[in-house]
Amino acid sequence: MKRNKKDRQYSLKDKIKENPFITDEELAEFFQVSIQTIRLDRLELSIPELRERIKSVATQTLEKEVRSLPIEEVIGEIIDLELDQSAISIFDVQKEHVFKRNQITRGHHLFAQANSLAVAVINDELALTAKATIRFTRPVKLGERIVAKAVVSKVDKEKGRTTVEVKSTVGSEKVFHGEFEMFRSTSY
């Protein structure tokens, strides 16, 4: 059942407050209206587009937390971070990230997202990749969103090494898996 504009906009605010990372497409489907209607509603309510919401939330919470590299050097947008435990980032594949002839994402972008997330999760001023074992499991195409999840899986205090496992997905499909052995300047 479609709602009137006032009710829809009221519910839209709540929906975005509940999940600031929801897309206009998902909102349009939820409210059973066009994407353009959602965009107009957001404009009237002064709610920024998804990319700006992500930047705002990420910048506010993460600038103080990420220690191992400046937040602007992370490939993708970090949306969740628990130092020395886990992190999540998203990366929207744009035209500049793909091969022109087949619209498939260049592998170094998937690697860079995963590697920078593995660095960012380390609670240290210095974190470097000592070794990486990676697998690409399916090609990623133009317009797809990659969600990378990093989890600290092993800590070797004697060697000053931390192992971070990163799994990247598009929707529910795994597209990349990496195990990064990270050197850190101090143990915790």
pLDDT tens digit sequence for 8-43:
988 998 888 887 778 888 899 999 999 999 999 988
Q: Are 81 and 66 in contact (CB under 8 A)?
A: yes
pLDDT digits (tens, 9 = 90+) for 127-163: 899 999 999 999 999 999 999 999 999 988 888 899 9
Helix (H, G, I), strand (E, B), or coil: what is residue 43?
helix
Measure the CA–CA gap between 52 and 60, rounded to whole angstroms: 12
More confident site: 84 or 52: 84
Buried b vs exposed e over 45-73: b needs ≥16 C-beta within 10 Å? eebeebeebbeebbeeebeeebebeebee
State residue 173 phi and psi, 5-degree precision: -90, 130
Domains recognised in the chain with CATH numbers: 5-47 (1.10.10.10), 64-184 (3.10.129.10)
- What average pLDDT does the chain have? 86
Q: What is the pLDDT of residue 52?
A: 73
SS3 for 184? strand
pLDDT at 182: 93
Cα radius of gyration (the chain):
19
User: Residue 112: enclosing H or E segment and its boundaries?
Assistant: helix 107-120
Per-residue pLDDT at 117 = 94
